[in-house]
Amino acid sequence: MSLFSAIYGTFDVIVSSFISLPYPTADASIKQQTIIVTGANTGLGLEASRHLVRLGVDKLIMGVRNLQKGEDAKRDILASTKRKESCIEVWPLDMDSYDSVKAFASRAATLPRLDAVLANAGILTPTFSIVADNERTIATNVVSTFLLCLLILPKLRQSAEQFSVVPRLVIPNSALHYMAPVKELDVKEGEIFKTLNDPKTADMAGRYPLSKLLVLYAVRELADRTKSSQKPLVVINTPNPSYCKSGLVRDVDMGFSERMMERMLPRSTEMGSRALVHGVLSGVESNGQYLSNCHVHTPASSVTNTKGKRIQKSFFNELMGKLENIAPGIMSDV
């Protein structure tokens, strides 16, 4: 992390707080679409789901850890949009479990069509713990997220061929990636995950920003690789909803300055969700891009400079190897 990037990231958060995002609109084609939103029962996922149902999506799949909370959120959305109950289904999804992710993706493969996935589920925690074989923030925000996306990729391509659409994979990001410490990434080839999983050296204060930097690396690399494929295009982008009242920091013990910032700066959850819906509705110009305030935006120098490009390829190769071990054959569709 350079000093300039840290200053720019802070400036971006402050300025974005005063920018009103465009209210989501969509053309008539959304009325035939099926869209998945994970982490859909609360915060940004809930409000993004509400917008998509309001816009007329034919079928919304809400991926949630707690089915009762998911059903409560479903009723809330239906009450506010006056849509029929059949337009929403609630499916179980635990991003801490690779088996749960694989079961969810297998079920998604049985859908008549699938047009977009908003992989919104994520965590921010200051506590180091291991889930499966990774530190929990990395497991949830990165490994499970891309496991889900790549397992669902064949279904998205099938829908592209059958219905002449350009499907989308959308993974939320954060301006905090500008402040992500890269020390744990600048290691020997093949040792990034090993370093991130070491409780003795783990920088948990910077772990959430780092997870969003890793998402950017993987989105850019995946977009580059799938663009060169002969298979139908699936757009993948990573929008930043900025600092929102979303419940993400509920596990963080905040000091006085952080509490003051939380009162003064955050966007409403609904406002932030507009950025995510924009990612879902964006066209091919957003492929592989970081989006902020509903526009393509230049990411941190730790993404675009020579060192960042080297780390990106090294990390992506490690990630793909890990995913291949979790779900053999997953890379055959990339």
- Give the whole-angstrom CA distance, residue 77 versus residue 61: 13
Burial classification of residue 285, based on how many CB atoms lie within 10 Å of its CB (0-12 exposed, 13-18 middle, 19 or more buried): exposed
Reading the block at residue 244, the tokens are 């929102």
| pLDDT band per the 50, 70, 90 thresholds, residue 256 | very low
Q: What tens digit of pLDDT does each residue of 225-234 get?
A: 988 788 899 9
Q: What tens digit of pLDDT does each residue of 23-44 get?
A: 999 999 999 999 999 999 999 9
Answer whether residue 310 shows pLDDT above 70. Answer: yes
Contact 208, 180 (CB under 8 A): no
* Percent of the residues in the chain that have a pLDDT greater than 90, as a whole number: 84
Q: Which domains does the chain have, with CATH numbers?
A: 3-324 (3.40.50.720)
Answer whether residue 79 shows pLDDT above 90. Answer: yes
Tally of helices (H runs) and strands (E runs) in the chain:
12, 10
Q: What tens digit of pLDDT does each residue of 182-228 get?
A: 999 999 999 999 999 999 999 999 999 999 999 999 999 999 998 87
Which pLDDT belongs to residue 258?
Answer: 46
Contact 219, 236 (CB under 8 A): yes
Contact 229, 323 (CB under 8 A): no
Which pLDDT belongs to residue 260?
Answer: 45
Contact 169, 235 (CB under 8 A): yes
Catalytically active residues are 208, 212
Q: What tens digit of pLDDT does each residue of 235-250 get?
A: 999 999 998 876 554 4
* Percent of the residues in the chain that have a pLDDT greater than 70, as a whole number: 91
DSSP string covering 102-149: HHHHHHHTTSS---EEE-------SS--EETTEEHHHIIIIIIHHHHH
Q: What tens digit of pLDDT does each residue of 40-73 get?
A: 999 999 999 999 999 999 999 999 999 999 999 9
Span 5-16, average pLDDT? 72
Contact 93, 121 (CB under 8 A): yes
Which pLDDT belongs to residue 248?
Answer: 56
Which pLDDT belongs to residue 75?
Answer: 98
Which pLDDT belongs to residue 88?
Answer: 98
- Give the whole-angstrom CA distance, residue 183 versus residue 163: 45
Span 8-15, average pLDDT? 72
Report the predicted TM-score, pTM, of the whole model to 2 decimal places.
Answer: 0.93
Which pLDDT belongs to residue 254?
Answer: 45
